[in-house]
Chains A and B, each alone.
Chain A
């Protein structure tokens, strides 16, 4: 795929010699495909950056995209695709920004003519393909990292650990728990125990429609881990279906405290701590 020294020399001459013409034509083609969603000036600047990166690299001899001296070119390409991915352009729209160079080169080769023109054009075109593929790859990578970031943000938002009382924190779980989310929640809960010095944690699963073996295991492991750290967990809000699942799966909840509601769980903890709650008061007189 790499261009030989002679070919890249000719490419440098071709692009460098007609700089104004090339960037002008290139910008026009790309602008057409983006239908005005990017300003002419911005587009022109991007095309100029790419143009100069290609010229600089090809002046240094053999163009090989993976080589050390192509770092500037790679950087220019990734910057372009990162920008496009962030601004919500499609993969095709991004790739066309590179493939447009083919059309420009075809025009130039036609003008130049000569014996080597066709062979050169094929070689240049191969190079452009390679640049296009690279752009595509970094476009996808950017998109993937965007998705990963969003997933993480969503995870943070959907799993707050709240302080209920002095020494009591709770994590109200809402929605489907997959293994990854369960793990994140549990790590966060344990960290909160340390940060707040709370010896009690309530895991409320009222909002969880179903649990599978793995998730139940995660919850159990968390309870055991919390115990190792010197804190107690209470599980509240177990729905009837979930209780059935737990028994059917043969998961041993052992001596883990379970309460019907978050309120019951809190009352249970407060009672352990010797705090009197309203409901208990009348009973003492009996």
Chain B
């Protein structure tokens, strides 16, 4: 069985799915990713599906599960690069990918994660009464 490689770039784990995954491979990715989040302490996961020419309900569920698992492990998941034909098909299929954040490409995905982290840090600093008004 083939495995999907997981790359660590700075504070982010990048998964670029390049093959037509069998269901087993998808499940293995889910498990590998959970382990890597804990092992690296990363706070962001980007799943790049630019190369996927279809996303069916199984892969859709895998993406949702990964997002939920990483949320539990304090990491933000962004799915990037979904093709228009794939998105149209998912809508028709009735799959809503609840709880998943999406972005057009890896770059936008990184911005999204950075923004989410920044919000969280701001929030933690809220003890300081000037914190909010100080930001222009």
Task: Establish whether residues A230 and B88, one from each chain, have CB atoms under 8 Å apart when the complex forms.
Answer: no
Which of chain B's residues 93-119 have a Cβ closer than 8 Å to chain A?
Answer: 96-97, 101-105, 107-109
Q: Does chain B have a CB within 8 A of A41?
A: no
Min CB distance B77 to A, Å, is 12
| Bound-state Cα–Cα, A224 to B78, Å | 17
Min Cβ gap B61→A in Å is 15
Complex: A224 Cα to B87 Cα, angstroms:
8
Query: Taking the complex as formed, is A193 at the interface, i.e. its CB lies under 8 A from any CB of chain B?
Result: yes
How many contacts between A and B, using CB within 8 angstroms? 57
CA distance A229 to B105 in the complex (A): 9
Cross-chain contact A225 with B87 (CB below 8 angstroms):
yes
> Which chain B residues border A55 with CB–CB below 8 Å?
none
Q: Within residues 71 to 102 of chain B, which ones have a CB less than 8 A from any CB in chain A?
A: 78-80, 82-85, 87-88, 90-92, 96-97, 101-102
Min CB distance B18 to A, Å, is 18
Contact A225 B108 (CB under 8 A): no
Give the contacting residue for A197; candidates B87, B91, B97, B108; CB below 8 A: B108
Please list 24 pairs of residues, one from A and one from B, whose beta carbons are closer than 8 Å in the complex, sorted by A's number.
A186-B88, A187-B88, A191-B84, A193-B104, A198-B104, A221-B91, A222-B88, A225-B84, A225-B88, A225-B91, A226-B87, A228-B82, A228-B91, A228-B97, A229-B82, A229-B87, A229-B104, A230-B78, A230-B79, A230-B101, A230-B102, A230-B103, A230-B109, A231-B104
Which B residues are within 8 Å of any A CB, using their own CB? 78-80, 82-85, 87-88, 90-92, 96-97, 101-105, 107-109
